[in-house]
Every structure is written in structure tokens, then in C-alpha cells.
Amino acid sequence: METASRPVPAWAVKAAVGALAAIAIYNSLIQFGVTDQFSSLYPDPYQVMGLQARLRPVQERVPWTERVGYFSDVPFTEPAGEAAFSASQYALAPRIVLKEDAKTAGQAKYWLGVFTKEQNFAEKGRERGLVLEQDLGGYVVLYRKAEPSQ
Amino acid sequence: MNTLAWVTAAVAGWFWVRALLPRPGGEAGWARAGMEAGLAFAFGAGAVSALFFALLWGGMKPGSAAWTADGAVLAAGVGLWWLMRGRVREQAPPPGGGKMPLAWLAGLAATGSLIAFLAAAAIYLRANPQGDWDAWSVWNTRAKFLASDGMWRNAASPELAEAHPEQPLLWPAAVARAWSESGAMGQEAPQAGAFLAGLGLLLVFGCGIAARAGWPWAAAATAVLLMLVPLWRGVPGQSADVPLALFLFGAVAAAEAAQRAGWCWPGMALGGALASMAAFTRNEGLLFCAFLGAALAVAARARALWWLAGAAPVLVLTGLFHALLAPETKVFSWESLGQAGRLAAVIQAMAAGIWKMGEWPAHPLLFVALLFLVFRPEHPWRPLWPAVAALLMLAAGALALWASADNVSTEAGAAADRLLLLVIPILIWTAFLWLSSASAAAVAAEPLPDAPRRGAAKGRKG
């Protein structure tokens, strides 16, 4: 292997290694501090674990093979709307969660409503032909498709 | 048990790595053991997960598929290791790195950075056990389908549009296998997998250089690698990019070891297998696998066929996944290529990603440049092919982003970070191989006055 053969001044190597070590230590302290601060200020920023705990009764009630419909008062174009939907899918997998405008959403027997404020949840369901099954707290509601006779 | 599954995968992988990886010359036994441990985790986790998925596809239940995959990879590994005993090729003796003054300082920096890195990962995971967005909304959501009896096919259902069903399933299969073996979908499984993948990357990286150039060069290189900000975010974030980076880097390290043993077939096959695991981890991995294969075909010529042979099993599985399971999605668009504004946005995102990949002045490229200025390695820089492959991957990644159907203004930043996490470790590693070789040659020409030989130093201590 052909490589350099010119001598390297020792002071230059010492300076480079010294600078590398000092800056690397500085960087590790900065990165640790940033991570620590972010973790303290924003634990579970999208409330994924919180929603998972809240949806535990749904996991027990709805079979794996069911599709679960989903609607919300937060539009999907906003990160919060997208996060709430994806977090619901994560919590309810292996059930497939479908947005209300999805082609196959009509097949869903159970529906999930995720809201940002207190409102008439039963009325929101009725508008979609759904019956309120259980208020899960935290503005999260489980609905069931109304039977034709209802 | 959620975490033990990763250890059993690594044990199964260890026999394969022990049988296929050419032994480094020299005396750094700990460096060899560390490199083997990192590669064993990568190969073991990749092989058992790919087989687990194939068995699910074949109709097995998740629990049976997981244990069968473990048993098969372990048994085949032990058999191969038995057959290869005494036949494992030796790498050419390493040139060694020149002595490094203040090496203890580099060691201190690497150790301190590593402790801070692991501690930061632990703190982040305690506050965010579910990891970052991609981890819970894509990879671990799909893992839940694979781990649930009879539901695996939904992991690639077009109804799962937000969870990217078009992406391949190696990492979700790895997590699902751990869940299937433990019988519970605990958050510890993806956490441990991401943590061990990050650690494996650092082990292969650091020990690979230590085996070639000694611990001072490994320490300096590790300190530089730990300046890479996307690595600090990626490991606790549990995204599939960290295992992808490990597979790609492992593929390069194994092929480089094979080159040092005369492009021996076992090392080439190991490199090919690891690259194919990258192809089954993300769609981009397939592109990177192709470019790595092309760079090796130029460098190793006909011996690259062994690399292809090693890659073939998982590449076939990847091809079958895309042909038969993955929903059709518009990944690329000719219209996107016609938009100059998209190209400008991609270039801007790549430039911003490169600028922000280190917290100035702690920037990996700054320190690589500084060391080049000091040691000035002369041409030709060898080995060149890993750097060529990494730069091709970078260019291909940028091109794919330009041609993608995604909204470039929202996706480009994250995509650039992902891309840099994959290629920068390869580039830093290659640069340190050149630097350490140049340093060795320089010392041979005129030993540094402040760099006493090991024996002399010992003598002074006494």
C-alpha cells in the first residue's frame, strides 16, 4: 500500500488530538444536556403511551379482525390530527384503523372519536349513524355502528 | 424475555460471523472480538428476522416461526462454523497506525462521549418509551401485525396507508420475533433492538479501526463519529435507520476484511448477506445495496459474484415481497424530475443536513479535514471503493428524493438526516483507514520525537 512518507510535526498532531478531545467532550455534554432537557420538557409529545393506556378497554372489546373507523375534530392536515390517528392505529394494532373517508370505512362496526374539547359526543356520533358505546375519558370515545332498527 | 431474543439472535449470528469473517492479522484480540460481536448482532438479527418473516408467509404461527427461525439459523451457523474450523482466512497483517501523541486524551474523549451517548439514550427512552414518530407510527405498528396470529398480511395492507405498507419488513419482523418469543408486546423489545443496533454500529466501527490501526486511532475515530447528531437522535428514537446503518456499515466492513484476505469468498458472502438485509429493511436500502454491489464489482471483479451469492437469499425474499405483497404506491414520478424547484429544495436540504449534522465546532467533517491537514495522506488512498460506494449512495439518495412523489418541502429535511446517518459512518471510517496508514508511513520515515515505542514507554514507567 502506497501512503505518505513525509514526516508529521509532533506539535501539529498534539494540537489536533487535543482539539479533537476537547471538542468531543464539549459536544457530548451539549448533546446529553439537549436530550435531558427535551426529555424533561416534552415526555411523550404525541401522547402515544397515554392513548395506548386509554384505549385498553377497546383492545379488550374489539376483536383483532375488526376494522375500526376513526374521526376527529382535528384535521389530518395538522400534525396533531395525523399524530392522533397514527397513535390510535399503533394502540389498536393488529386491528386496522380507517379514516372516515377511506373506501372501506363503511365496513367498520366500531368507531373511535378523538376530540380536543368537551362537546356533545353522542350527537357527533349520531351525525354519522353511530351509537356511543363508551366514553374513554380524555375526549376519546368509542362508538358502535347503529343497528338498522335503531 | 423481550430483550433476551436479541441476545439469542446475536449468538446464532456469532457462529456465522466466526466462520465467514477473515481473521484480522496482528494481536488485537479484543478488537477482533468486538467487531465479531457487532457483526454477529447484525447478521443474527437480520437472518432470524428474514427467516421468521418467510415462515410466517409460509403459514406458520408467529411463536412457532420465531423459534424455528432461531433454531435453523443457529443450527446452520454451528454446522458452518464446524466445517470452516481451521479454514478461516487470515487478513494481511495490518500496517498499524503511527503512534499518536496524547493518545490517552483521545481515549478519554471517546470513553466520555460513549458514556454520555448511552446515558442520553437511556434518559430519552425513559421519557419516550415509544420512540420517535417513525418508530411507533410505522415500524412498531407493523410489527404488531406480524406478531399477531393470522394477521401478518395486514402489515402490507394498502389500508394501512399512513404506516408505509410499501416498505419492506425486516425490522418489524425483528421486533415481532422478540414479541412472539416473549409472549408479550412490551416496549422493551424495540428499545433493546435499537440500543443494540446502535452499540453494534459503534463496535464494528471502533473495533474495525482498532484491529487495523490500534486503539488510539479507534478512539479518535469513535470520538469523531459521536459528533454525528443524527446518531444521538436515531438510537433512542428506535427508527429502522439505525439497524439499516448497521447493515450497510457491516457490509462494507466485512467486504473490506475480505479484500485484505485476497477478496476471499467467505468474507464477500458475509458482506453480501448484510447488504441484502439493508435492502429488506427500507426501500432505499435496495438502492444502496445495488450501488455497494456495483462498487465492489469494479474493485473485486469476478469475486463480487460471491458477494452476490451471499446477498441472494434475502434479495429474493425482498423481490418477492415487492412483487407479491407490497401495495402499489407511486414512489417516483417523472413530473417531480421535471421540477427544478424540487432539485433546489433537495440540494438545500442536503446542504443544511450536512451543516447541521454536527453541533459546531463539533462537526465530524471539520475534524476529518483537520486530521487530513495534519497527516496529508498521499494518493492513492486505499481502499477507495467504500468511499465511492458511500458517495454514490448519497447521490442516489438525493436523486431519489428529487424524483419521489413526496412533498419535498416537508420530507427533505428528515430524509437528508436519514441519508447522512447511513453514509457518514462509512466515510469517516474510510478516512481514518487512510489517515492511520499515512501516519504509519510517516512514522516509518521519521518517528515522532514525542511518540516513544511501547516497550520504551514501559521501560520508563519502571
Note whether A28 contacts B112, CB cutoff 8 Å: yes
- Contact B154/A46, CB-based, under 8 Å? no
CA dist., res. B205 & res. B199, Å (int): 10
Q: Which residue has the higher pLDDT, B149 or A5?
A: B149
- In this prediction, residue B451 carries a pLDDT of 44
Query: pLDDT-derived band of residue B97, with 50, 70 and 90 as boundaries?
Result: low
Q: Is the pLDDT of residue B443 over 70?
A: no
Residue of B91, B99, B104, B123 to mutate, testing the A interface (most A Cβ within 10 Å of its Cβ):
B123
pLDDT tier, B352 (very low <50, low <70, confident <90, very high otherwise): very high
- Cell representation of residue A47: 401522547
Separation between Cα atoms, residue B287 and residue B400, nearest integer Å: 9
Cross-chain Cβ contact A64/B446 below 8 Å = no
**Per-residue model confidence (pLDDT) at position B459:** 36
User: Shortest CA distance to B164 belongs to which of B142, B148, B145?
Assistant: B142
- Does the structure show a pLDDT above 80 at B95? no
**Beta carbons of B391 and B430 less than 8 angstroms apart:** no
ipTM rounded to 2 decimals: 0.91
Give the model's pLDDT for residue A5: 52
Quote the crossing angle between the two packed helices B62-84 and B170-182, to the nearest 10°. 110
- Each residue of B184-197: pLDDT tens digit? 899 999 999 999 99
Average pLDDT in chain A: 89
Cβ contact B367–A20 (<8 Å): yes
Strand A96-99 to A110-114 pairing:
unpaired
How much is the average pLDDT of B198-212? 94
Instruction: Kindly calculate the radius of gyration of chain B based on its CA atoms and give it in whole angstroms.
Output: 22
Mean pLDDT of B34-53: 97
**Does the structure show a pLDDT above 50 at B453?**
no
pLDDT of B342 reads: 85
User: pLDDT-based confidence at A105, cuts 50/70/90?
Assistant: confident
pLDDT of amino acid B452: 43
DSSP E strand stretches across A21-79? 67-72
Lowest mean pLDDT among A37-51, A104-118, B12-26, B373-387: B373-387
Residue A70 · residue A98 · CB < 8 Å: yes
> What order of strands is seen across the sheet that includes strand A96-99?
A96-99, A67-72, A110-114, A140-145, A130-137
Mean pLDDT, rounded, of chain B = 89
Which residues 6+ apart lie within 8 Å of B410 measured at CB? none
Show which of residues 90-149 on chain A sit within 8 Å of chain B, judged by CB atoms. Answer: 90, 93-94, 96, 98, 102, 104
Contacts of A17 in chain B (CB under 8 A): 100-103, 105-106, 220
Query: From CA B144, how far away is CA B323, in angstroms rounded?
Result: 23
Output the pLDDT for position B27.
60
Q: How many CA atoms lie within 13 A of A19 on its CB side?
A: 18
